[in-house]
Amino acid sequence: QHAATYRTPLAAAGLHANPMAADKVVAFMDHIRIFQEQVEKLKALHVDPAEYSCMKAVVLFTT
């Protein structure tokens, strides 16, 4: 499996660099949770690197 392909680009250590209001932290953490759930669903598809690259291109050009 290509583990590096699915790594979350989030450095948790950087979360403490800039103080945030509590409500913003809660919303931010909720977004992270949703993102991680989507990544897990993507992993469950067992796509090969070529399929993954095509999906990235679709997302890039539709946003």
- Cα distances (angstroms) measured from residue 30 to each of 9, 24, 27, 37, 55: 16, 10, 5, 11, 24
Q: Which residues contact 60 (CB under 8 A, 6 or more apart)?
A: none
Q: pTM of the entire structure? A: 0.51
Q: Tokens 């539709």, residue?
A: 62
In the structure, how many helices (H) and strands (E) does the chain have?
2, 0
pLDDT tens by residue, the chain, 63 residues? 455 555 555 555 455 566 778 889 999 999 999 999 998 998 899 999 999 899 899 999 997
What is the residue extent of each domain of the chain?
16-62
